[in-house]
Amino acid sequence: MHIAETGSALREILKNAPRPVVLVPTMGAFHPGHLSLMRRAREIAGPDGTVVVSIFVNPIQFDRASDLAAYPRPMASDLAACESAGVDLAFTPAADSMYFADRSVTVSETLLSRGLCGAARPGHFDGVCTVVLKLFLLTGCDASVFGEKDFQQLAVIRRMVRDLDVPVEIIPCPTIREADGLAMSSRNSRLTPEQRADAPRIRRALLAAAGLTSPAEIIASATASIEASPLSRIDYLSLVDAETLQPVTSLDRPSVLATAVFYGEVRLIDHVSIPKTSA
């Protein structure tokens, strides 16, 4: 497996790389969910293509300095995981090699990113779009794999690719969960044992609410179930259109019930899909 620490080194390695080139953008601290993305990328690339994994804790997508500082960075074990998953090239840049000190261009999406995590974390999706477009350009990838757990991120990246005519196919992969239903996340390791034991209530609350018949009931049920714990604090809980991510007042189109919940300083996200239930 090759390792590149700068954009120029990355491009040099990829100059004559076998196609297709499939990119998995990550911030490291790998869990089985990340490995599922790498395995999917390997399937898409086939035995002769090239799988690239970027490991970069992107500073411009963090809205809280404490969250950036606390983000885990186990580079040695991450690189070993890449190799075991059949990755051909790991890209591990430092922040100062990705961004000029006087950078003045940012990529912004202005509709799908307004609500949910975008409302709670100003500037977050500007940072996501900017770094992902840079990674697409640096790698010249043919396809890129994203997890559905960050469903708003997936929708925003798809919109960026559509609106800017970026020639990259976006491949979604299902959320990978712990045995008790908690969505796998690098942030789970920062939960206390008591918080970790309580956190599966997020998934249970969303699933129970998704079986109700009106938006008001859905929101009220999920809110009550999550707030029943003294350990949890809701950042947002919203019912939105599955395509536009705008709030809905009826279930005449497929929708998504999404939430972000704090346990102490740890912010966890999850969502469930709700099918159309009326004409």
Residues catalogued as catalytic: 34
Rounded distance, CA 8 to CA 237, Å? 42
Q: What is each CA distance from 12 to 5, 18, 105, 166, 227, in whole angstroms? A: 12, 13, 25, 22, 52
The set of residues, in sequence order, having a beta carbon less than 8 Å from that of 134 and lying 6+ positions away, is 98
Are the C-beta atoms of residues 186 and 29 closer than 8 Å to each other?
yes
Straight-line distance from the first to the last Cα atom of the chain, in angstroms, rounded to the nearest whole number: 53
Are the C-beta atoms of residues 270 and 203 closer than 8 Å to each other?
yes
Q: Of the candidates 203, 264, 254, 255, which has an alpha carbon nearest to the alpha carbon of residue 230?
A: 264
